[in-house]
Structure 1
Amino acid sequence: MKNNFLLFFFLLLTGMPIVASNSKETFEIGRRTFLLNGKPFVVKAAELHYARIPKAYWEHRIQMCKALGMNTICLYVFWNFHEQQENKFDFTGDKNIAEFCRLAQKNGMYIILRPGPYACAEWEMGGLPWWLLKKKDMVVRSLHPYFMERTEIYMNELGKQLAPLQLANGGNIIMVQVENEFGGYGVNKPYMAAIRDIVRRAGFDKSVLFECDWDSTFELNALDDLLWTLNFGTGANIDKEFKKLSTVRPEAPLMCSEFWSGWFDHWGRKHETRSAEKMVEGIKDMLDRNISFSLYMAHGGTTFGHWGGANSPTYSSMCTSYDYDAPISEAGWTTKKFFLLQGLLNKYRSPKEKPCKTPAPFPIIEIPEFEMKETAVLFEQLPAPILSEDIKPMEEFNQGWGSILYRTTLPATSKYTLLRITEAHDWAQIYVNGKLIGYLDRRKGENQITLPQLPAGSQLDIWVEAMGRVNFGSTIHDRKGITEKVELINSNRETTLLKNWQVYSIPVDYSFVAEKKYEMKVPDGPTCYKASFTIHKPGDTFLDMSTWGKGMVWVNGHNLGRFWEIGPQQTLFFPGCWLKKGKNEIIVLDLKGPSKAVIQGLKAPILDVLREKERNHRQKDETLNLSSESPIYQGSFAATGEWQEIKFETTITGRHFCLEALSSHNGKEQASLAELEIIGTDGKPIPREQWKIRYADSENTRGANATADKIYDLQESTCWMTERKVPYPHQLVIDLGEMKAITGFRYLPSFEKGNPGMIKDFAVYFKSQSFNY
C-alpha cells in the first residue's frame, strides 16, 4: 500500500498521464518501468530523421527498424526545415512529418517525438532558423522575448500537425521531449520550464514529457514534473551512467534516450567507426536491467542540401553522408551491426512482438562516366549587387545559405601588405583584379593573406562560402559571410579599414543555378557545370565526385549535398527514386574547379579516402622542453570516471596551459582525457572559443579520431588518447588565445567502461609566453 501511494504521488507530482482516456491503448509511468496498456514495456527505439531520407523510402526504413527488432521510432523535428523563411511554414511533401508518423503506426511502431526547439543532430544551427540571427542581440535557447515568441509560434504549428497523433487520440506518439541536452549549453531552469509549458500548450499534454542530458549534467536543469533520461554511447559503463539518476529517482523508469551506435564524419578528418560488438554488449546490459533505450542512429541517412551543421571549437563542418556507422547503412542496407543487434533483440521479444521480415534493399545501378561540358562562369553572371558602406554578415542581407561575394576597390598597397578578415565564415577565396591569390579556411584558423604590390583602384573580391552553422554550444550564434571587418595592414603595422562594398548573394536554390546561361566555355573561378545522362532503369547509385573540387550537386532539381575533395567522403548518395527512365539533368557548382569534369555512378560509397592529412598538433622534430619550467601544481587524480576539480592555492595569470600526465591508474602507457575545463576567477569555466592545441606529444588516430582538440569539443563521448606504445610522460599544451587569470581546472577521463588511459599523477604548468620546443 505504501509503495502504491508513493507511486501515485509521484505521478500526480510529475503530471504524467496516469491513464490515456478515449484510446484503445495507454502509455504511462510505472514503478521502475513504462507501462503499455497497464503492462511493463521496454522502449526499444530506433532513431530516424525523416529529413535525411527521401519520402519514397520512409516506409522502407521504418520496416528495416521493425525487422531489426525495434518497437518505436525516435524522431527529431528540425524547426528550420519547416520554417525556412519567417512565417512561411511547410509541412507538405518531404516535410510531411504527420505522414511519416502515420506510416510508422501502419507498421506497428510507436513514436518518440523530439520537437526542440533545439535539436543538435549535426544539423544546420541545431535545427534553429538562421533568420533568428538577423537580430543583433539574439541569444537563442534563452528567455529572449523574440526567441520565445517564435518558439511558441513554431510549436503551435507543429502541434496542429502532430498533437492529434498522440496515443490518447488514437495515434502512436507516446513520448515528447522538452528541449535537448540543455545541460551542455547552460543552466536556466526558468527557460526549461517555459519550453515545457509551450510544448504543453501546443497540445502535447497527453504524452509522457521528458528531458534528456548527460550523466554529468542532467541535474543542472532538471524539472520535477518531467521524466529524466540520459544520453551516452557505445562502450559506456551502464551501471556508472545510471548510478546518480537511480539514486535521485529510484521509482522512475530508466532510459538511455541516445545510445550512440557510431559517430558522424567531419570534412578533413578520418571516417568514424565504432565497434559492433561493444554496441550490442551495451544494449544487452540495458535490456538485462529493464532499461529502455533509443539507438542513435539506427539509420543515419544523408544530410542533403545545405543542412549539414558544424562543431566549434575548433570549427569543423559535417560531411554530407550521415551514415554514422549505423546498423542500417546510408543507402538502407543491412550491415554487420544490423545482424548482431537483430540476433540480440530476437531474444528479448515479447510474445506480442512477432519477428518481421527484413525488406529487400532497393536496386543499385552504375552510371557510365560522362563529361560535363556546358559551363556558366558565375563571375560573369552575378546577380544585382547590394551597396553597403560597411562589411556585414550574410544574415543582414537576408540570406540564409550559400555563398556571398564582397567587392571593393583597394588603395595602393606596398609589397608586404596584409589583408586581414575578421572573420570569414567559413571558406574564402581571395581575388585581386580577377586573379585568385589564395584561400582562407576557418577550420585552420586562417584569417589573413599577403597581397601583391598593387596600384590604387585594384578590385578586391572576397568569395565566402557558408559551410554550415555550428549546431552545439554557445557558438551556435554563428553568423555567416564576413562577420566584422576587413582591413589592410602595412609593413609599419598601420591599418586601413576597407569600406564601400558591393555585395552579391549566391544562394543554393536550384532556380539560381538552373536559370544561368550555359555555354561551351572554359571555366574560370566558381562555375556551374551542366550535362544530361540517360538511364534505362532507375536505381540507387553513388555519384563519384573524386575529381571535383568543392561545391554542390543537383540532379533533376534535387540537391544531393556538399562535396569536397579533401574527404573523407568522395561519393554522394543518389536515391533512385529521384531518377527518371531516359534523360536526366545534372548541375554541379564547383567553387574551386575540378581536375577532370566527369561524373559516374558507382555501386558502393567511398566514405574513407582522406586527401588532407589529419591535423597533427605536434610538428615534425618538435619536442616540448620543460626542463627549465616549474609546475604551478602537482597532484594525483582519483580513480573515478567522474569530473574532478583541482583548485590552485592562488590565482595565476597566463596564456599557455600545459597538463603533463606522469602515470596512469592501470599502469599502462596510454593516456586519455575526454574534457577539460579551466576555471576563471568567478569560479566558472573560461570561454573556449579561442582555444587552440599548441602541442600534444601523441595522438591516436588509428581507430577513432582521438586528436587532442577533443578535450574542448563539448562532447563527453570523444577524447584525446595517446598511441598505445608511447610511454609516459604525456604533455598537452593549450593556447588560450589571450591572457587569462585562472584558479584551477576540471578534468573528465574517458567515458568508456574501465576508463582506459585514466591519468593518475600529473603536473600543471602555466605561463604568459610560449613554451620551448
Structure 2
Amino acid sequence: MPEFTIGETDFVLDGSPFRILSGALHYFRVHPDHWADRIDKARLMGLNTIETYVPWNAHSPRPGVFDTDGILDLARFLRLVGEAGMFAIVRPGPFICAEWDNGGLPSWLFREPGVGIRSHEPRFLDEIEKYLDQVLALVHPHQVHLGGPVLLVQVENEYGAYGDDRAYLQALVEMIRGAGIGVPLVTVDQPVDAMLAAGGLEGVLRTASFGSDSQNRLRTLRQHQPTGPLMCMEFWDGWFDHWGGRHHTTAVDQAAEELDALLAAGASVNVYMFHGGTNFGLTNGANDKGIYRPTVTSYDYDAPLDEAGNPTAKYFAFREVLSHYAPVPAETPGAAGPAPEQAVALGEPIRLLDDPARWGSWSRWESLPMLDELDVRLAVYRTELPGGDQPSVLSLGEVRDRAAVLLDGAPVGILEREHHERAIALPCGRGRLDLVVEDQGRVNYGTRIGEHKGLIGPALLDGMPLTGWEVLAIDLDRVPQLWETAALDGRGPGVGPTAWRATFLVEHPIDLFLDTAGWGKGISWVNGFCLGRYWRRGPQRTLFVPGPVLRPGHNELVVLELDVLADPTARFVAGPSLGPLED
C-alpha cells in the first residue's frame, strides 16, 4: 500500500517528493449525482487532490442522530475521489466556518447553559468525541496507507483567530488518533504570527490560508514551521456574498498570477474554492462584526467551476498555470449551453394566518421562547394586547434575525437585526399581535458562534411586560405538502406569509435557473427538494435547480413567500444571475 509522510522539506509519497495540488469541493453543497462530474473536472484542470470539510450539524441535526444518506454520504464521495485516481484531504472540524450555518456546530449543543464553545470543556468535548468517532469511522478505511485516497486530516479550523486553548487542540488530536487515523494531521491559520502561534501544535503540520502576497505569507509560515512542506490550505480565489451586498469576483489574470507565485515558491496548494456549489436548504451562515449579514444561497465563490459546474475563464487560466508544474490531461471539459426557458403562473396560494395549525404545532408560553427552544427556523408568536386605542410602542430585547409585525392580521412593519431594530410603533395598543420570526442563518465566524436565535426577551408594550404567548413552531418540511389537506377558497394571497405552487414541464432532467427577481423574500422547493432562500435585496437573482431533482414530464415548484410577491410567475431563465459586480 502507498506510504504518505511528511519529510524535511516535502510531502513524501512512496519515498518520492509529492506536491499536493488540491481543490476544495464540499460534497454537502453539490447534488450527489454531480459529484463524479465535478471530481473529474478537477482532474482535467490538473489537480491531484480533492479537499472537503465535514459539517457536523448537517450530519447530526438532533442529538443522537448521525445521517449519511444522499448528499451526506461522505464514504461514497471519498470512493468516487479514489476511483478518479485522485487523493483527498478531510477537514472534519468540529468547527469549519465555511460560511455554513453556525460554522458546522450543531445548535442543540448550546441549549444547555455553560456548554463550552471551541474549548476544553467536558460536555463539549464529550459530544465532539462522539461525532469524531462516527465521522472518522467513515474516513478510516479510505486512508492512503489502507488503499484509499485520504492523505491528510485537519485538526479544527483557523483556531488561532478564535482562541489559544492548547489543551482543547491536543484533545482533538488524541481523539482523531484514537479513531484510528494514521495519516498526517495538519492545522490551518491565517499567516499572522499570533494566529499561527495560537492555532498550532508541535507534531502537527501548520498550513496557512491566504489569497495574495505568497512570498511574504510563506515566509511567515516558515517561521512557525521550520521544517516540513509549505502549504496554502486555502488559496482564496474568490469570495462569498451576503444579502444586500455586491457579487464578489476576482480578476482572472490576477488570481492566476497569485497561484503561479505560490507554486513557484515550491508550496503545495488547496484552491478554495475549486467548485463552491450551493447552500441548499437553510444552511447558509452569517457574519456579525457589528452588523449582522447573512450569506446568500449561492456559494459560487467566483470559482474555476461556477455554481452549475461549468468551467469558467478562471478554470482555463488555472489549468495553464498548473501545466507548468505538473502534467495536465489533454482533454478539456466543455461548457453547457443555455438552460431551457419557460414561464408558468404560480397559483393556489395558501395563507399562513388563515389556518396556522396546518403549518406546525401551537404551544403556550408565559414569556417569549427562543427558536432554539422550539427547534425550528421560523415561528409565529401570538398574544392579545391589553392596551387601548391610542398608538403604542412594542419593544423587544433583541431580534434574531427578522420579525414581521402584524396587528389583527394587518402588516405593521419589519424589525431587522441587520439594522439593530427592536422597537416599532403600533397604531393602537389592543388587538391580536402576530410576530413572524425568521432565523436567517447562524453566525459562522467569531465570538457569536453558538448564540441563540429568535426573540430574546423581554417583550414590552409601552414599557409593560407582555405575557401569555401562543407560539406556532412552523415545520418547513410540511410546506410542500400543504395542498394535500388545505381547502382552497380562491380569495387570492391576502397578507402575511403565503405558500404558492406551480407545475412545470421538462423533457428530460437538466439543470435550470429559477428567476426570483419578481418575488420578495422566502424559500423555494422543487419536487420537495429545498433550493434555499431568495430575497429581492439581492445580489443573487436566480436559484440553481440541479437536474437530478427533476423528472421527465410534470414537476412541482413550491414557494413560501414571507413578504410580498410582486409577480406570481415562476420564470426559468437561460443562466445564473448573481448580481452586480464590485466596483
> TM-score scaled by structure 2?
0.96
What's the offset of the Cα at 1:191?
0.8
**Equivalent residue for 2:197?**
219
Amino acid of the residue matched to residue 201 of structure 1? G
Amino acid of the residue matched to residue 454 of structure 1? G
2:348 to 368, 371, 374: 374
* Correspondence 1:324-403 to 2 at 5 A: 324-349=301-326, 353=327, 355=329, 357-361=331-335, 364-383=338-357, 384-397=361-374, 399-401=375-377, 403=378
1:441 to 416, 422, 439: 416
**Equivalent residue for 1:521?**
491
Asked if the contact 1:321–1:330 (Cα under 8 Å) also holds between the matched residues in 2, the reply is: yes
Distance 1:198 1:149, change over 3 A: same
Amino acid of the residue matched to residue 602 of structure 1? V
Structure 2 Cα separation of the partners of residues 302 and 376 of structure 1: 28
Asked if the contact 2:394–2:424 (Cα under 8 Å) also holds between the matched residues in 1, the reply is: yes
**Equivalent residue for 1:598?**
569
CA RMSD of aligned residues (A): 1.6
1:251 to 227, 239, 243: 227
What's the offset of the Cα at 1:261?
0.7
Structure 1 Cα separation of the partners of residues 487 and 253 of structure 2: 52
SS in 2 for 1:168: helix
What's the offset of the Cα at 1:325?
0.5
**Equivalent residue for 2:441?**
468
* Correspondence 1:53-68 to 2 at 5 A: 53-68=30-45
What's the offset of the Cα at 1:481?
1.2
- Runs of 4 or more, structure 1, over 6 Å off, are none
* Correspondence 1:663-742 to 2 at 5 A: 702-703=582-583
Distance 1:476 1:356, change over 3 A: farther
Structure 2 Cα separation of the partners of residues 510 and 326 of structure 1: 35
Deviates most, 520-529 or 584-593: 520-529
Amino acid of the residue matched to residue 476 of structure 2? V
Structure 2 Cα separation of the partners of residues 63 and 356 of structure 1: 13
Asked if the contact 1:533–1:584 (Cα under 8 Å) also holds between the matched residues in 2, the reply is: yes
Amino acid of the residue matched to residue 545 of structure 1? T
Amino acid of the residue matched to residue 393 of structure 2? L
Asked if the contact 2:311–2:334 (Cα under 8 Å) also holds between the matched residues in 1, the reply is: no
SS in 2 for 1:103: helix
Structure 2 Cα separation of the partners of residues 472 and 207 of structure 1: 28
**Equivalent residue for 1:552?**
523
**Equivalent residue for 2:166?**
189
2:276 to 300, 306, 316: 300
SS in 2 for 1:410: strand
What's the offset of the Cα at 1:459?
1.1
Structure 2 residue 429 is matched with structure 1 residue 454:
yes
1:99 to 76, 85, 91: 76
SS in 1 for 2:199: coil
Asked if the contact 1:45–1:294 (Cα under 8 Å) also holds between the matched residues in 2, the reply is: yes
Percent identity of equivalent pairs: 37
Asked if the contact 1:104–1:111 (Cα under 8 Å) also holds between the matched residues in 2, the reply is: yes
**Equivalent residue for 2:457?**
484
Structure 2 Cα separation of the partners of residues 413 and 239 of structure 1: 69
Distance 1:48 1:191, change over 3 A: same
What's the offset of the Cα at 1:381?
2.5
Asked if the contact 1:376–1:516 (Cα under 8 Å) also holds between the matched residues in 2, the reply is: no
Structure 1 Cα separation of the partners of residues 154 and 100 of structure 2: 18
Asked if the contact 1:265–1:272 (Cα under 8 Å) also holds between the matched residues in 2, the reply is: yes
Structure 2 residue 469 is matched with structure 1 residue 498:
no
**Equivalent residue for 1:229?**
207
Distance 1:269 1:252, change over 3 A: same
| Residues 527-582 of structure 1, C-alpha deviations (whole Å, 9 max, x = no match) | 10012111222211100111111111111111000000111101100111111111
What's the offset of the Cα at 1:484?
2.5
| Residues 641-694 of structure 1, C-alpha deviations (whole Å, 9 max, x = no match) | xxxxxxxxxxxxxxxxxxxxxxxxxxxxxxxxxxxxxxxxxxxxxxxxxxxxxx
**Count of residue correspondences:** 574
Structure 2 Cα separation of the partners of residues 110 and 516 of structure 1: 50
Distance 1:702 1:126, change over 3 A: closer
What's the offset of the Cα at 1:333?
0.8
Structure 2 Cα separation of the partners of residues 241 and 189 of structure 1: 24
What's the offset of the Cα at 1:208?
0.7
Asked if the contact 1:267–1:317 (Cα under 8 Å) also holds between the matched residues in 2, the reply is: yes
Distance 1:510 1:71, change over 3 A: farther
Amino acid of the residue matched to residue 32 of structure 2? K
SS in 2 for 1:608: coil
What's the offset of the Cα at 1:38?
1.0
Asked if the contact 1:387–1:501 (Cα under 8 Å) also holds between the matched residues in 2, the reply is: yes
Structure 1 Cα separation of the partners of residues 445 and 548 of structure 2: 33
**Equivalent residue for 2:511?**
540
Structure 2 Cα separation of the partners of residues 229 and 26 of structure 1: 21
| Residues 125-155 of structure 1, C-alpha deviations (whole Å, 9 max, x = no match) | 1111121122122332122222111111111
What's the offset of the Cα at 1:31?
1.6
What's the offset of the Cα at 1:50?
0.5
**Equivalent residue for 2:407?**
432
Structure 2 residue 240 is matched with structure 1 residue 264:
yes
**Equivalent residue for 1:575?**
546
Asked if the contact 1:422–1:484 (Cα under 8 Å) also holds between the matched residues in 2, the reply is: yes
Asked if the contact 1:543–1:602 (Cα under 8 Å) also holds between the matched residues in 2, the reply is: yes
* Correspondence 1:6-17 to 2 at 5 A: none
1:90 to 43, 60, 67: 67
> TM-score scaled by structure 1?
0.72
Structure 2 Cα separation of the partners of residues 32 and 108 of structure 1: 25
What's the offset of the Cα at 1:415?
4.0
Q: Which sections of structure 2, spanning at least 5 residues, go unmatched?
A: none
Deviates most, 459-468 or 142-151: 142-151
Amino acid of the residue matched to residue 408 of structure 2? N
Amino acid of the residue matched to residue 521 of structure 1? R
1:140 to 113, 117, 121: 117
SS in 2 for 1:119: coil
Distance 1:575 1:248, change over 3 A: closer
Structure 2 Cα separation of the partners of residues 321 and 267 of structure 1: 11
Larger Rg over CA atoms: 1
Structure 2 residue 280 is matched with structure 1 residue 310:
no
Structure 2 Cα separation of the partners of residues 556 and 196 of structure 1: 42
Structure 1 Cα separation of the partners of residues 14 and 449 of structure 2: 41
Structure 1 Cα separation of the partners of residues 68 and 467 of structure 2: 42
Asked if the contact 2:479–2:499 (Cα under 8 Å) also holds between the matched residues in 1, the reply is: no
Amino acid of the residue matched to residue 554 of structure 2? K
Amino acid of the residue matched to residue 416 of structure 2? D
Deviates most, 128-137 or 164-173: 128-137
